[in-house]
Structure 1
Amino acid sequence: MATTADSAGPARTQSASTYSEDQLPEFTPMPWTLSEIRAAIPAHLHARQTWKGMLYLLRDILMAAIVWKLALYIDPSFKSETAVRTLTPVGAEAARWGAWLVYWWFQGLIFTGIWVIGHECGHGAFSSNKRICDIIGFITHTFLWTPYFSWQISHHRHHSNHASMERDEVYVPKTRADLGIPKESEGAIDYEDYLGDTPIYTLFALIRQQVLAFPAYLLFNVSGQKNYPKWTNHFDPNSILFTKRQRNAVIMSNIGIATMVYIVLEASRTWGASEIMKYYGIPWLSVTHWFIMITYLHHTDVELPHYRNGQWNFQRGAAATVDRNFLGWQGRFFLHDVAHFHVIHHFFPMMPFYHGPEATKYLKEFIGDHYRYSDKPVFKALWDTYNNCQFVEDEGDILFYRDRKGQARVRPAEPFRESTISASVSR
């Protein structure tokens, strides 16, 4: 399956009335070791060049400063007598808010690119010098309200256990039992009773996810590992997320966030909360939106497997991601290819992002159909994924999402299917 279910395939040709799991495409998990995959990637693509990472960071900072400076002219220009006389009062006001929308769009992308640099630092991909990585990562992430060391710790655990139902940190699928849905063997099920939401409510829930999911994950472990205790969060040094040796790093992250609280409050007193929101707050909200949208679409798709312990290993988990054509050239330029070449990042997190395009060519050539890519427009992909990826089964070691009708798009090949799961379900 070189592409995802975004593309037409055997599973999508079935109508609801003829759906049968016997007709679904079958999935066989990846057989290679990580050493075999690493050997297929030229060694020079793992090299980290601090100077190159610095140039990208400086470019981002310069762009942010220039865009910020230009934004200072928006209100004075469109509120001027000349603008009002030329454009009419309504036209001038519409143009003013149009200019702000342009600023928020591009500054949000630029800020997200700066966040990505911090993400590189968190993996040690920015430089071979750990101190450089930690200093730059701490500054860039703190500026964007991310507790750098705390997030780094849990994010490393996510990479180490991706697609594991028992140990992954984020985007762990809900199971049939989690949603209280009976098993197919217990009789006919009206999935509308359990999963049927109006399009308006679905849109509301999706927007809520995009705006609040990252803060909610940091504060309340929302979408995180459900086996963690209640009130698990990234700000408690004694949280189950951290070891005793990591306590000071968590405290340092908290000090950074507390410093940002102080800076923003002082800036609001000086220039006004509305001004801080316009120039900084809304672009920051864009960062949380883009970051959640990117990571959600990387790790969630009807054709991406999740594993229980019996079949999981690191390389299989790494392959359970999908590269996406995210905003075209804007995604590549402003977001440092973080969305376009994410699969290779899961295999080799310390590989610098600027080697991603070339390394992906070698990876794709070696693992073949186990590499996944989607060129579906990302907002359409977001809507479809949110509706189609509802839950996985309670049994089995290889699992695929089912949609609002309880239907899957892929099933494990015969040797990997649990005998407790019905071989086919026809409706």
Structure 2
Amino acid sequence: MLSLFSLLNFVPYWFDFQGTSQRPIRSQRITTHSSPATICHLKWDNLLLKGINHKKGLSPLRRTKVIQAVAVPATASSADSAEYRKQLAERYGFRQIGEPLPDNVTLKDVIDTLPKKVFEIDDVKAWTSVLISATSYALGIYMISKAPWCMLPLAWAWTGTAITGFFVIGHDCAHKSFSKNKLLEDIVGTLAFLPLIYPYEPWRFKHDRHHAKTNMLSEDTAWHPVWAEEFETSPFLRKAIIFGYGPFRPWMSIAHWLIWHFDVNKFRPNEVKRVKISLACVFAFMAIGWPLIIYKTGIMGWMKFWLMPWLGYHFWMSTFTMVHHTAPYIPFKSSDEWNAARAQLNGTVHCDYPRWVEILCHDINVHIPHHISSRIPSYNLRAAHMSIKETWGPYLNEAKWNWRLMKTIMTVCHVYNKEQNYIAFDELAPEESSPIIFLKRVMPDYA
């Protein structure tokens, strides 16, 4: 896993491409006001962040102990202060941690500040993205065919990133932001997903629920923290979870793909027909495409030309997904506490990746505007982000991809806890968490 990260960072040098009454307006900056005389409840994890050690073996229930302290107005020790958020950003590998969104702001308020042009579908730009993905994928296949064994990892990294672009095209089709012709969208989306062995309709149905229930406990169909009950189910499952959410996390989307998209029983009756059509397309592709690859190139050729790029795609699929909504300070909420504006604006992360990755993946990591409105086409996400930043800048979570960010997610963001958001595996079960302890030792800590 570490070597793949290093190779991916090396590639650019080889391929140098270059509804409320207080609705804000562009020139406004919304601010919150808090009473200067308050009692500040410092959560146990905040104490940990400030370097206060706790004894090993403390039970999860006792970790939720609340300590009270009298807060003085405008002090840097306040958990909501700019200075404290700056400290957290440095600790976790973020460029900025957004301040809490005021309670009176709705998702419609945010959408209404966006210029209308970012919602416009442009057929030329849409098909240009298809051309970019097809060309870059063809180049990747050519590189794999010509590269000596020592250079194959670079070719696989490029090709895996290129087919991630196919996923983003299908992603736009699923959100009805690729074309005004909805039948054409479904056809293009299905075809774009086929090389990835992804059934288009099952993914679309589940992904729509992710947008409707982002960072909502249980209801969010993307990743969410591990439940304590799951973690305590059995030693075997606990070990599998530790590896899955630890060292194997950059490929955990493979498990998600298998669990969520091939079981017809997971879908509503009115969805089943479309689900079966998508599954038939995927199985037909496997039944025809795989034997042809093996016939022409052998089993090793199938591994070279399909399996390894597919694993590269899942690396990005997993990495993008966990970075978009996972951080120690981003909470998951039960349905009765959930707030749409906070989940989509405050609970989504904008992350800058190397430019070649952004180009091949069609700016999917400009992710905050996509969660404000999934009807914004991928080629308009940057313009939408600039608009959001102009009006809502203080509330945004932003990062540039770095080792500290990945290390935080893979070694801290594990088991759900209402007070702390997350408890790390090595806190709950230190004797079984050697994979997490290993990651803490070997993963770089620079931002």
> What TM-score comes out, normalization by structure 2 length?
0.69
Displacement of 1:15 in angstroms is 1.1
Q: Residue 48 of structure 1 corresponds to which residue in structure 2?
A: 121
Q: Could you list the per-position Cα deviations for residues 315-365 of structure 1 after superposition, in whole angstroms to 9, with x for gaps in the alignment? A: 222121111122x212221111112x1111111111011111121122123
Q: Partners in 2 of 1:113 and 1:11 — Cα distance?
A: 42
Q: Could you list the per-position Cα deviations for residues 107-134 of structure 1 after superposition, in whole angstroms to 9, with x for gaps in the alignment? A: 1111111211111111112122211211
Displacement of 1:177 in angstroms is 5.0
Q: Partners in 2 of 1:380 and 1:273 — Cα distance?
A: 38
Q: How does 1:166-245 map to 2 (within 5 A)?
A: 166-176=218-228, 178-180=230-232, 206-211=246-251, 213-220=252-259, 233-237=260-264, 239-240=265-266, 242-245=267-270
- Give the number of the structure with larger relative contact order, counting CA–CA contacts within 8 Å between residues 6 or more apart: 1
* Pick aligned residue for 2:422 from 386, 389, 401: 401
Q: Residue 79 of structure 2 corresponds to which residue in structure 1?
A: 25
Displacement of 1:264 in angstroms is 0.4
Judge which range, 368-377 or 56-65, deviates more. 368-377
Within the alignment, does 1:260 sit opposite 2:285 as a pair?
yes
Within the alignment, does 1:118 sit opposite 2:158 as a pair?
no
Q: Residue 270 of structure 1 corresponds to which residue in structure 2?
A: 296
Q: Residue 385 of structure 2 corresponds to which residue in structure 1?
A: 360
Q: Partners in 2 of 1:147 and 1:13 — Cα distance?
A: 42
Contact 1:236 1:250 (8 Å CA) reproduced? no
Q: How does 1:300-379 map to 2 (within 5 A)?
A: 300-319=326-345, 320-326=347-353, 328-339=354-365, 341-377=366-402, 379=403
In structure 2, relative to structure 1, the CA distance for the partners of 1:365 and 1:352 (3 Å cut) is same
* Residue identity in the other structure for 1:298: H
In structure 2, relative to structure 1, the CA distance for the partners of 1:272 and 1:21 (3 Å cut) is farther
In structure 2, relative to structure 1, the CA distance for the partners of 1:355 and 1:272 (3 Å cut) is same
Secondary structure at the counterpart of residue 309 of structure 1: coil
Q: Residue 181 of structure 2 corresponds to which residue in structure 1?
A: 129
Gaps (5+ residues) in structure 1? 1-9, 75-95, 182-192, 221-232, 408-427
Q: Residue 78 of structure 1 corresponds to which residue in structure 2?
A: none
Q: Partners in 2 of 1:286 and 1:376 — Cα distance?
A: 17
Displacement of 1:154 in angstroms is 0.4
Q: Partners in 2 of 1:163 and 1:202 — Cα distance?
A: 21
Contact 1:11 1:24 (8 Å CA) reproduced? no
Q: Residue 416 of structure 2 corresponds to which residue in structure 1?
A: 392
Q: Partners in 2 of 1:138 and 1:313 — Cα distance?
A: 33
Q: Partners in 1 of 2:307 and 2:196 — Cα distance?
A: 10
Secondary structure at the counterpart of residue 53 of structure 2: helix
In structure 2, relative to structure 1, the CA distance for the partners of 1:166 and 1:107 (3 Å cut) is closer
Displacement of 1:12 in angstroms is 7.9
Contact 1:344 1:359 (8 Å CA) reproduced? yes
Q: Residue 84 of structure 2 corresponds to which residue in structure 1?
A: none
* Residue identity in the other structure for 2:256: Y
Q: Residue 59 of structure 1 corresponds to which residue in structure 2?
A: 132
Q: Partners in 2 of 1:203 and 1:115 — Cα distance?
A: 26
Q: Could you list the per-position Cα deviations for residues 284-318 of structure 1 after superposition, in whole angstroms to 9, with x for gaps in the alignment? A: 11101111111011111112122122321322221
Q: Partners in 2 of 1:321 and 1:47 — Cα distance?
A: 23
In structure 2, relative to structure 1, the CA distance for the partners of 1:274 and 1:359 (3 Å cut) is same
Q: Could you list the per-position Cα deviations for residues 369-410 of structure 1 after superposition, in whole angstroms to 9, with x for gaps in the alignment? A: 321111251x4422221111122325x7xx722445769xxx
* Residue identity in the other structure for 2:336: G
> What TM-score comes out, normalization by structure 1 length?
0.72
Contact 1:117 1:140 (8 Å CA) reproduced? yes
Q: Could you list the per-position Cα deviations for residues 243-266 of structure 1 after superposition, in whole angstroms to 9, with x for gaps in the alignment? A: 212111111111111112212023
Secondary structure at the counterpart of residue 125 of structure 1: coil
Contact 2:253 2:314 (8 Å CA) reproduced? yes
The CA RMSD measured in Å over matched residues stands at: 3.0
Secondary structure at the counterpart of residue 114 of structure 2: coil
Displacement of 1:153 in angstroms is 0.4
Contact 1:345 1:356 (8 Å CA) reproduced? yes
Q: Residue 419 of structure 1 corresponds to which residue in structure 2?
A: none
* Pick aligned residue for 1:282 from 304, 308, 316: 308
> Percent identity between the aligned chains?
21
Q: Which runs of 4+ in 1 moved over 3 A?
A: 10-13, 17-24, 26-30, 175-181, 201-207, 402-407
Displacement of 1:24 in angstroms is 6.3
Q: Residue 50 of structure 2 corresponds to which residue in structure 1?
A: 14
Secondary structure at the counterpart of residue 392 of structure 1: strand
In structure 2, relative to structure 1, the CA distance for the partners of 1:176 and 1:277 (3 Å cut) is closer
Displacement of 1:178 in angstroms is 4.6
Q: Residue 322 of structure 2 corresponds to which residue in structure 1?
A: 296
Displacement of 1:217 in angstroms is 1.5
Q: Partners in 1 of 2:224 and 2:102 — Cα distance?
A: 21
